[in-house]
Structure formats: C-alpha cells, structure tokens
C-alpha cells in the first residue's frame, strides 16, 4: 500500500526516536529479489498538469498522475555496502506472507 506524506512523517518521527536523527536512510525495492539504494533527493513536482513537468513531446505512460506525487529519487549505495536489501524491510512476520 502506498504511503501519504503525513503517514511517512509519523513513521519517520518514530524512527528518529529509535535511531537518532543522523541515521542514514536506505530504500529497498523488488520485494522478491530485494535490492537497496540511498535516497538521493526528495522532489516536489512543478504542478499537477503534465505540461508543468514534461517537455513538449515528452511522454510516459501514466504521466497525467505524476504531478500529484512526492518523488523520492533513489541512488546507488557505496561500493563497500551490500547491494541487496533485507526481506524484513517490508515488515513481513513470516515467510508465508511473501
């Protein structure tokens, strides 16, 4: 399920209490074969209209909704860090939930 900005803020505040405000943030994706990355940038769209966010002639499937999302741009982890993400990052309690 997708998160809202308010839901993320609440979860991040709780994480800050547990880990401290200087803890680095990682992103895990591809649940069945998890990879990890960094959060490189948080981006707010220029507006809700695709013309505000895309150049003339540029197109992508679903772009009519892209201006309604907060975007987190993922980057690669340091060369010495494991590139694979942990399965527990999705919060599953048991393997049968996969």
Beta bridge pairs of residue 74: 39
DSSP-derived pairing of the beta strands 71-75 and 35-43: antiparallel
**5, 12 in Cβ contact below 8 A?**
no
Give the pLDDT of the chain (98 residues) as one tens digit per residue. Answer: 789 999 999 999 999 999 999 999 999 999 899 999 999 999 988 888 878 888 888 888 888 878 888 999 999 999 999 999 999 998 865 454 44
pLDDT at 94: 45
Domains of the chain, residue spans: 5-93
Judge if pTM exceeds 0.85. no
Binning the chain into helix, strand and coil, the percentages to the nearest 5 are: 30, 20, 50
pLDDT at 8: 95
């Amino acid at each position: 399920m997708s998160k809202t900005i308010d839901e993320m803020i609440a979860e991040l505040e709780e994480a800050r209490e547990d880990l401290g405000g200087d803890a680095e943030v990682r992103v895990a994706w591809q649940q069945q074969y998890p990879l990890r990355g960094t959060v490189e940038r948080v981006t707010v769209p220029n507006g809700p209209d695709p013309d505000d966010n895309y150049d003339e002639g540029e197109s992508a499937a679903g772009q009519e909704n892209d201006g309604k999302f907060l975007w987190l741009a993922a980057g690669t982890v340091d060369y010495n860090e494991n590139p694979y993400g942990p399965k527990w990052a999705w919060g599953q309690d048991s393997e049968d939930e996969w």
